Structure 1
Amino acid sequence: METKKVAVVSRAALFTAAVVAPLLVAVAGVAAGRTNNCTRRCGGISIPPPFGIEDGCFLDGFNLTCDRSHQPPKLFLGDGTVEVLEISVPDATVRVIGGFTYFPGSVDDYSGIPSRVSNPVTAGIWSGALREAGPYTLAVRRNKLVVIGCNVQVLVGEDSSEDLGGCSAVCSRRRDVNPRRPVKDCTGATCCQSEIMLGRSSYRFRILRVNGATGLNSSAFAWIMESGGLLSSHALFDDDYIPLPLPAVLNWKINYTVCHGNTSSAACRSSQSYCKNSTGRNTVPNAHLCYCPSGYQGNPYEPDGCYDLNECKFPKIYPCYGTCNNTEGGYQCSCPPGYEGNAFAPNGCKRSYSPHSGNILSCWANAKSLI
């Protein structure tokens, strides 16, 4: 019995501060048509299509920079502003690393730390230097706002009229806010965190006292960073008590065209691939992604990138309690010779008996009763 394969592509999502330099120079008319002689690794990080470094090796907006002045080399988005940690084609995400946002108060509670920080951001906008209507947005449900401060509330939103998230950090004394005495978890006492529910290319910060009045007596630090478990404030600062640049997750999409008939796109280069338009509030307008169909795996953005998935090698995902045979785009699971039933269920295959074997057993039983 043949069954359709379950798609292994999951559509889920780094950026942690306001970076003020421009990013992602658009390269008009460039298509990832050339695969030979394209750099596919930088500093141990894989560079899959549609990303690339050399002209002709990337789709519009997906150009990267490999900075070999570092040892090992470092990979950056665009022309070299935001460092890349990981690229995922199945999840359509990029993990990147950035900095932090600093809000100065009338009292510096950080023992001179801001004066020793390189280029702290004091503006109220986080953009990650991502261009508007570009291929990148903050990944939904993959990032959170983290704040260190004393009796402050930080809100993030698209503009001053709509808040998308926020949290409040409270303390009894301002001197309690001290990286040298970190709290054990970030649950509201001098440190708070809140999930960001909507993905955007930029956010506006609003910082308030907890009583709602504007203005600050306390300085505050804020990060937009990758979601995880409970966070110790000690993880936010290095050994010299300088705020750490922390990872966050970006979603990416092919943003300059839509699918043709919801099945094909110039970006989907594998013969075994399909295209799906982006929908919903969290998506880039006029954008789409490419996928390998159910029963295939790989990279749909490169020629012959989608290849057959052998389900028989993954029995925990595709259980078969009989004989498993892989087929192109599917697999067969059947009971072995001499058995019948449902090979997809535990103990589903039962030994089969022919009518002749039943007659022989019956005759033997009758003969024994006559003795």
Structure 2
Amino acid sequence: MSVAGIAALLLLLATMLVLVLANVAVPNCTSRCGNISIPYPFGITAGCHREGFKLACNETYHPPKLFMDSSGVEVLEISSPNSTLYIDSGILTLAGDESDDGHIRMNWLVPLDDTLYRVAAGKNEIIVLGCGINMIVQWPDPGKWPYPGDESTPTSNCISECMAGAGHPVIATNGTCPGIGCCSIDMHSESNRFPIKYTIDKENLPPVNASLALVESKWWSKMKNIMMLQKAASSDTSLGASKGVLHPIPGVPIRTAIRWMFSNLSCDAASNSSDFGCLSDRSKCLEYPISDDSTGGYTCQCWHGYHGNPYVQHGCQGYTTVVGIGSCVGTLLIILSILIIRRKLLVWKARKSREFFFKKNRGLLLQRLVDKDIAERMLFSLQELEKATNKFDEARKLGGGGHGTVYRGILSDKHVVAIKKSKVVIQRETDDFINEVAILSQVNHRNVVKLFGCCLETEVPLLVYEFISNGTLSDHLHAGTPLSMPWKDRLRIAIETSRCLAYLHSAASVSIVHRDVKSANVLLDDRVTAKVSDFGASRGIPIDQTGVTTAVQGTFGHLDPEYYHTRRLTEKSDVYSFGVMLVELLTRKKPCVDLSTPGASLIAEFILRVNQDKICEMLDQQVIEEGTEEAKQVAAVALMCLSLKGEDRPTMRQVETKLEVIQTVERNTPVEQTNANADDDNFSRRYSMEEECMSSMSFPR
């Protein structure tokens, strides 16, 4: 299963788990406000809540906030299993008139209906913020409110002292409440109203603005919450101007735990009424005592081993279901985590690999490129080329040569290109690719395939060329059909190829020997214009040298025999290979195909027929019908190119000139025809048939 599939299943199971564990609302009623779940008996709209439990969702906040509809107190969380409501109770500034006994008196009031809601004893603390204060809180019996002023009521007190010396803050801000600048009192009675009296130490410091907060003990136990409230109280200038007022501090929700009752009836009375709240099966009724001798109401709770909302039908679900779903979610979380980690690891490894090869290949390239800016403009990312070729899909393969496999690609700008990828990951292939970029970055000729750029993020660089749509010359010559391309096109292609090779040999800044001239490396565009390609084996020769000694590279049947035996590479090596290509153009036969004489090669057979003046026996029938005389002259040029010794071969510039003359004669220009006849004498053969045949047959096959 994919990561996306597991994530979807995980979301489904998590949703089921939430539905089981969450406080359940009445069907078709709003169940959430922002991040807060709204369980029944609470609700927002009519028919969705019990009387006294109406809430309001203010969506002008982001995220939306939930409030008690009657008092405007902000609700932070609602728990059905614990019958607990968590609110933002705000902060109370100390105020009041000093009495004869020196105490200042005031009442604490949480603005909630105390028949349904009461501050939970044992879950909250009263916090005094300020110093030089002696705070006393009285705990009246909730059943005897209003308090009659009986001084015998139980009390609790805390003293918040000031630090010695001037300049110290009157409110502690260090995240602790040790009795200096801050003190606390545990709640001992469940009520919403408490009489408070306090004294201020006027001898040691002038009267100070102090404040009280009612906070949940768990919330107050976290240092970050203590510090947040202390700093907010010490920096809030509005506290001193609003004495005796209970108000929230913006951005600091002061969390207070409130116990709520479903009804003020006893369980026995409620169970016999039509308004009984414990609707879920596997739920029970709990009395809610407010004093030793009275009952204040009841709440509902799921049986032991069950969880959910007991106030709605089927709200209590077994832990077996919950644990089962939780286990599935946990297992899927582990699987998802492993898949994510694995994917990230693969992405990381791929990125590191690309960075390594990019650095390696770019360094080699920049040593050979004339201008570093050229490399920057020609760089493609691996991701871009994978997208262009559908990750090098076999259906995109155009073909392969000795130096790589070529794929058709479509770039993001809809430009169609040919992308060459090495077949074998060896250093020689890498060097060939780098060599090809270095060569083509210096070449600008209409008959040379254009190199757009390269990708250096793989072990062997990828090359991006212009896309040539009409295949190779070899494809057209050896298509297996009776007719091939017309003779005039063959001659023109020969001239264009010779023109390109002549440019490489003499017009470029460094003499470039292609070293693998053959019909398969001559591409044809939609106008059948020749484009010489595959410069992986090419070699530059300084202009002050006639050749270089190097390892033999090329294609069998096209290799210069002198280069093969001596390993001396010169421009004349390309001339020999071009002569082989001319023979292909004339005969439509492949150089390595054996003919009638056992063991004989195409070149040996060609030399034999020319010297016997029987060249017509080898010519393609289409050539005979369309241009026999011109073909004989081209055969004479080919014969000179195929001379055993390189020094006896013409240069590519001479070959280009001769072929252009033949083409002009073909167009019936009288003056040029005369010049062409005169030039024919210069192409007489100086080698016997036997020597040429023997040289060709001794060449390895």
Instruction: Give the TM-score, by structure 2 length.
Output: 0.34
For the residue of structure 2 that corresponds to 1:287, the secondary structure is strand
Partner of 1:236: 230
The C-alpha deviation readout for 1:338-370, integer Å capped at 9, x for no partner, is: xxxxxxxxxxxxxxxxxxxxxxxxxxxxxxxxx
Inter-partner Cα distance in structure 1 for 2:166 and 2:71 = 39
Structure 2 residues without counterparts, runs of 5 or longer? 1-24, 98-103, 141-146, 237-248, 325-701
Are 2:162 and 1:154 aligned?
Answer: no
Structure 1 position 279, deviation (Å): 2.5
What is the letter of the counterpart of residue 289 of structure 1?
T
Distance 1:152 1:312, change over 3 A: closer
Structure 1 position 241, deviation (Å): 1.2
What is the letter of the counterpart of residue 258 of structure 1?
S
Partner of 1:185: 176
Structure 1 position 62, deviation (Å): 1.3
Partner of 1:42: 33
For the residue of structure 1 that corresponds to 2:159, the secondary structure is strand
Task: Choose 1 or 2 for highest CA Rg.
Answer: 2
Which has a greater percent of strand? 1
Partner of 1:222: 212
Say whether the 8 Å CA contact 2:302–2:310 is kept in structure 1: yes
The C-alpha deviation readout for 1:130-189, integer Å capped at 9, x for no partner, is: 233x2111111111111122221122224453344331101135753345x724521101
Inter-partner Cα distance in structure 1 for 2:96 and 2:283 = 54
What is the letter of the counterpart of residue 210 of structure 2?
A
Are 2:240 and 1:249 aligned?
Answer: no
Inter-partner Cα distance in structure 2 for 1:225 and 1:127 = 14
Inter-partner Cα distance in structure 2 for 1:139 and 1:283 = 19
Q: 2:42 aligns with which of 28, 48, 51?
A: 51
In the TM superposition, 1:280-295 aligns within 5 A as 280-281=290-291, 285-295=295-305
Partner of 2:280: 270
Q: 2:317 aligns with which of 303, 307, 317?
A: 307
Distance 1:137 1:84, change over 3 A: same
Identity %: 27
In the TM superposition, 1:206-217 aligns within 5 A as 206-209=197-200, 217=207
Inter-partner Cα distance in structure 2 for 1:283 and 1:188 = 36
Distance 1:104 1:277, change over 3 A: closer
Inter-partner Cα distance in structure 2 for 1:57 and 1:123 = 42
Comparing both chains, which one has the higher relative contact order based on Cα–Cα distances under 8 Å and sequence gaps of 6 or more? 1
Structure 1 position 284, deviation (Å): 8.6
Q: 1:94 aligns with which of 77, 85, 100?
A: 85
Structure 1 position 246, deviation (Å): 1.3
Say whether the 8 Å CA contact 2:215–2:254 is kept in structure 1: yes
Structure 1 position 262, deviation (Å): 8.1
Partner of 2:118: 137
What is the letter of the counterpart of residue 129 of structure 1?
P
Distance 1:240 1:210, change over 3 A: closer
* Root mean square deviation of aligned Cα: 3.4
Inter-partner Cα distance in structure 1 for 2:321 and 2:312 = 23
Partner of 2:51: 60
Inter-partner Cα distance in structure 2 for 1:125 and 1:51 = 29
Inter-partner Cα distance in structure 1 for 2:44 and 2:294 = 23
Inter-partner Cα distance in structure 1 for 2:45 and 2:209 = 44
Partner of 2:522: none
The C-alpha deviation readout for 1:172-229, integer Å capped at 9, x for no partner, is: 35753345x7245211011111211221121222112369x9xx83331111111132
Inter-partner Cα distance in structure 2 for 1:44 and 1:168 = 39
Inter-partner Cα distance in structure 1 for 2:229 and 2:26 = 41
Distance 1:174 1:220, change over 3 A: farther
The C-alpha deviation readout for 1:223-253, integer Å capped at 9, x for no partner, is: 1111132755554233981265511111111
Structure 1 residues without counterparts, runs of 5 or longer? 1-33, 107-121, 315-371
Q: 1:176 aligns with which of 157, 168, 175?
A: 168
Inter-partner Cα distance in structure 2 for 1:167 and 1:38 = 46
Instruction: Give the TM-score, by structure 1 length.
Output: 0.62
Distance 1:285 1:279, change over 3 A: closer
What is the letter of the counterpart of residue 142 of structure 1?
K
For the residue of structure 2 that corresponds to 1:150, the secondary structure is coil
Inter-partner Cα distance in structure 2 for 1:256 and 1:66 = 27
Say whether the 8 Å CA contact 1:296–1:306 is kept in structure 2: yes
What is the letter of the counterpart of residue 308 of structure 1?
G
What is the letter of the counterpart of residue 221 of structure 2?
G
Higher mean alpha-carbon deviation, 170-179 vs 72-81, is at 170-179
Inter-partner Cα distance in structure 1 for 2:292 and 2:168 = 38
Distance 1:99 1:92, change over 3 A: same
Say whether the 8 Å CA contact 1:262–1:275 is kept in structure 2: no
